[in-house]
Amino acid sequence: MIDPPGAAEQGTEIGIQRIMEMIPHRHPFLMIDKVVDVVANQRATGVKHLSKSEYYFQGHFPARPVMPGVLIIEAMAQTAAVLVVHTLGPESEGKLVYFMSVDNARFRRPIFPPTELEIHVTKQRNRGNVWKFEGRAKVGEDVMAEAVFAAMILDD
């Protein structure tokens, strides 16, 4: 298998304060704590430290907390939004990146707290303001969920 261009390139790390400058999401709906590897126009890896105190575990499910699948997909989307803003530069900071579609979503294993969730997003292509990505959520080396999704960045 041939590695895609930039596969060996070391990416930039982005902390939570910078993420909040880049995308408009806020607690309790900010689903990433940091991005540890972002390479413009190629890929990003987000990280979410899951604890039992996350608000959604109060009802999903109190006796055996499981991260909801839709929030795993949201974490992928937020990681992709950071990649889009990082690629386009400062003039795109704070703009909304809207979901357009989610395809081939697969939830392989449940995600239980406490754990560290890694969200790997790779850009497949973009045309104008529409971007398409492949996402994988991992705990350690185990793929927990994956999806292909599209999003659009809009001017205010």
Neighbouring residues of 90: CB distance < 8 A, sequence distance ≥ 6: none
Q: Which of 27, 60, 86, 120 is catalytic?
A: 60
- The rounded distance, in Å, linking the Cα atoms of 126 and 29 is 26
- The rounded distance, in Å, linking the Cα atoms of 38 and 120 is 10
- The rounded distance, in Å, linking the Cα atoms of 19 and 7 is 23
Strand partners, 149: 102, 133
Q: Which two tokens stand for residue 35?
A: 């991005």
25 is an active site residue: no
Neighbouring residues of 129: CB distance < 8 A, sequence distance ≥ 6: 152, 153, 154
- The rounded distance, in Å, linking the Cα atoms of 92 and 129 is 11
> Would you please indicate which residues are annotated as catalytic (active-site) residues?
60
